[in-house]
Structure 1
Amino acid sequence: MDLLPLPAHGDTPVRVMTIAGSDSGGAAGLQSDLRTFTLAGVHGTCAVTAVTVQNSLGVSAFHPIPPATVAGQIRAVIGDIGVGAVKTGMLADAGIIAAVADTAAELGIGGRTGEGAAGIPFLVDPVSASHHGDPLLSPEAFALLVGRLFPLATVVTPNLDEVRLLTGIEVVDEATQRDAARALHDMGPCWALVKGGHLRTAATSTDLLYDGTEFLEFEAHRIVTTHDHGAGDTLGAAMVCALAHGTTVPEAVAFGKRWVTRSLDAAYPLGAGHGAVNASWRLREAPPA
């Protein structure tokens, strides 16, 4: 599956939600998520968790949205418009994380049974630092993210910096990537995806998916570029679009991997720092038959 089916004119598209912070530079955060949602042919909604002050050089400040307002956005949208899948991005502080966890449990987002995930598919991206290394979560909030949201998650998608913070494992090769996937899965999600994009010594970029039993590898040619701001958001956004269409988690990872690789290949410079990945390659593709 290279592309998702587009809705017919006038038909209501599949709906997805991002619970994330706003990137004033437009390269990452909810702006990146909504861009991928639209280009993938789904209707994107959002619950804004924070307003950041950032550009291509980094984050200089951020202002969290009150937790009750974050929860209110989620309830208002899902109660009226509905949703096929949900992802998180930057959750800013402990109060917001608790509000998201409570609201997710209330509305049937994520959750586990003996057979795996139940309810609305829920992708948790444990964002703890910006692309430039600027901290976005306190240690208390990070621990709450793991304790409250990971057990609800259909899949978690940390990058290698976040893997190290979560598990204490420095991923340097296939063996340590598998160790990290096991440790992440033990924290409660149905599936753990250890992304290999930051393992820059490898000729390929290999993401590893684990469900507690089986390891699945998703490999792509490494795109050598410094213009990779928003890559993690774009991968997760593409995955959640696929999940909303009813795919399995492995199918969603495969779709997201192809989507972000093409977005990296089309990336462009922006400002004086890291440029943006570019999902608009989709505009040059013929619609699926």
Structure 2
Amino acid sequence: MNFTSIFFFKKCLSYVSVQGPCFLQALECLVRLASVRRSLFVEDPARSQFLSHLMSGTREILQTGQGLADHGNYHEFCRLLGRFKVNYQLSELLNVEFYGEWLGLVAEFTTKSLLSWQWASNSVYYLLSLWSRLVTSVPYLKGDTPSLLDETVPKITEGFITSRINSVQASFADNSPDPDNPLENAESLQDQLESLPYLCRFKYESCSLFIINIMEPLLQAYTARSRLPASGDAAELSVIEGQIAWMVHIIAAILKIRQTVGCSQDSQELFDAELAARVLQLINITDTGVHA
């Protein structure tokens, strides 16, 4: 990569450091620059310096939140973060001096995005994609430098699952069901669940227990509701069914893939069976009561 390209790259970073109409265009340019091929760099040190500048720029945006109140900027910034693992190895990210700080900021940003599901639902895909690519790279990581993913990924996984459950409750609380409800859109649902299985299986034991602890009360509530007259609270039943629907889709997505990271194959099969058993319990419930 020549001097002109480096100059253009730094110019884009300077544009995203100020508010204005150029903010979005600068982010779009950075997304493209983050995608340049390794062959464009004459030497590895130049590529490492390029990555360091890119991580430094995104770190500054994450620290200040500057420009992210605009939905277009927010979405493009998520796309930019999603490009990191597409074009760089985890080992290269680890070699950047402030990797730990950067990863923590990205994790915090991801968690906040998950909580803002009504506003950032279309942007979360890029963030989850980044995390899934990071965890699938762990087996190929050499050296003793900690990736810090053991600490961050479980929180993000739990945050996603919790946010989907809460979204059902929230949509009925204000009597305004989401017209873009992913449960009613197969393509949107697939996008949201595409990366989740890799995150879940990264720390499968703790994740499966977390899912079971959510699923059990829902099954109990659904069973209790099946014993009530059909004239009961329809809204309450709809909320329970919506939350169970999310959990069934999440479990199905997890069971579709196999991943050796995190625990042994025997352990994975045991946790698979535990999750599948919770879904199969629904058959007995739906065959009785008002659900029949």
On whether the aligned pair clears a TM of 0.5, the verdict is: no
User: Could you say which structure has the higher strand fraction?
Assistant: 1
TM, length-normalised to structure 1: 0.28
Return the structure number with greater relative CO, CA threshold 8 A, min gap 6: 1
User: Could you say which structure has the higher helix fraction?
Assistant: 2
Structure showing greater radius of gyration is 2
